[in-house]
Amino acid sequence: MLTIAAFVLALGVLIAVHEYGHYRMAVACGVKVLRFSIGFGKTLVRWQPRGSSTEFVIGAFPVGGYVKMLDEREAPVAAEERHLAFNTQPLRARVAIVAAGPVANLLLAVLLYAVVNWMGVQSPAAILASPTAGSIAEHAGLIGGERVQRAGFEGGELQDVESFEDVRWVLTRGALEGHDVRLVLAGPARRTRGDVLLKLRSMDASEANADLFQKIGIVGPFTRPVIGEVVVGAAADKAGLHDGDVVRQVGSVPVVDGQQLRQLIRSSVVNGEAASAVWKITRAGTELEVSVKPESRQDGELVVGKIGAYVGAMPELVMIRYGAAGGLWRGMTRTWEVSALTLRMMGKMVVGEASLKNLSGPLTIADYAGKSAGMGFTQYLIFLALISVSLGVLNLLPLPVLDGGHLMYYLWEGITGKPVPDAWMERLQRGGVAILLLMMSIALFNDITRLFS
């Protein structure tokens, strides 16, 4: 129920803001707006403010919306109202009205990111977990426990890092945009200030998924290797492990953090059978040794080890909060970065350098809406900002059925001094609809595949 409510609210807000951008700019340019609709299908709510020529409508299916303006191309217009019609407006006014919808979504994203920055959010500290075996991070010399102080692209300006999310964002951009990433470190593995270079430029980053970070080797923040919530009768209970036990060594392998411990447990299965090992632990200040044999469990296509307990403590958290100017600036820069990354990924998908599996449809969006809402108000605002950026960028694409397609027509008109011929307009509209339907089909297929994988 939370997923449905969060999804409907997200769609309603983002569509309303988009259409309101068109509406307000049309009114500012002196165009008569006949109807402002959120959703399609059966009308649920209808009202018309006193003295207004606009009818406001909420439809039964909140999957879109529209602003209907007075236009001679759609219906006859009285001579005395011709100056109020959209099609009679100068080119600059028509461009402004069409562009106002996507711009409104981008401005909403700036505001949402700024609000999160002003409110503050608890985020894991920028302390790295142990890298996955054979990963880029491991080859760079990381072992886990390093605190990242600054990060950025090789050859570019390094930025201060305040949380693990900052590190993750730089890594995401570096992998998808083809940049090596430099990290300035301090911590147990780096007794003095030092840095490492993660060579991401040559890696295959066609998909933005969990496997991407497995290849990089930085999957999550540092967590202490603590055992918790032991299930009665499970492998951990049979071995005599207790809540709060700190694991120091598994067999001959020293344990750095919870991430490494989880990997050791998962990889304990050989030929379908989990191998036992002597664990060195600390319990209430006392050093102990226990023999632990994980249980074999099917996990997708793999057979992995499980012990029936929570592995790893909560990561260290830091409060990230900014003042009025700083929060707004961070909101603007994050919106710009997400927009640029979205455009690059779309471009790579067009030329075949990125997988079409990166396209997500309504089922995935609904799932993320529910999960983010369940994590708290600030996480839901971050989700709304991300989707608002995506909606704004998508609508600026030069597809005839989108706002970007109309802007493409106006560019032609501005260059040639003539509007696009009706015959070409019809052909382009058909092509645009076909492309959009294809994109929607691929996105829905990806959604279904994710749900059943």
User: What does each C-alpha distance from 25 to 69, 387, 453 come to in angstroms?
Assistant: 12, 22, 45
Question: Residue 4: helix, strand or coil by DSSP?
Answer: helix
Report the alpha-carbon distance of residue 278 to residue 260 in Å, rounded. Answer: 16
* Structural element, H or E, at residue 227: strand 227-228
* Structural element, H or E, at residue 246: strand 246-250
**Token pair 């219906």 in the structure block, residue:** 75
User: What does each C-alpha distance from 53 to 42, 50, 100, 343 come to in angstroms?
Assistant: 22, 9, 20, 38
DSSP state of 293: -
- Judging by beta carbons within 10 Å of its beta carbon (0-12, 13-18, 19+), is residue 289 exposed, middle or buried? exposed
Helices 422-452, 362-375: inter-axial angle, 10-degree rounding: 60
One-letter amino acid at 340 equals: A
Question: Residue 240: helix, strand or coil by DSSP?
Answer: coil
Report the alpha-carbon distance of residue 124 to residue 167 in Å, rounded. Answer: 11
Q: Which of 243, 405, 263 is nearest to 309 (CA)?
A: 243
Which active-site residues does the annotation give?
19
Answer whether 351's CB lies under 8 Å from 301's CB: no
**Token pair 């664990």 in the structure block, residue:** 279
Give the chain's length.
453
Report the alpha-carbon distance of residue 94 to residue 29 in Å, rounded. Answer: 9
Report the alpha-carbon distance of residue 101 to residue 391 in Å, rounded. Answer: 10
Q: Which of 174, 158, 116 is nearest to 372 (CA)?
A: 116
Q: Which of 130, 229, 134, 138 is nearest to 188 (CA)?
A: 130
Answer whether 340's CB lies under 8 Å from 349's CB: no
Helices 377-395, 324-351: inter-axial angle, 10-degree rounding: 50
Report the alpha-carbon distance of residue 20 to residue 104 in Å, rounded. Answer: 8
Answer whether 215's CB lies under 8 Å from 135's CB: yes
* Structural element, H or E, at residue 318: strand 317-320
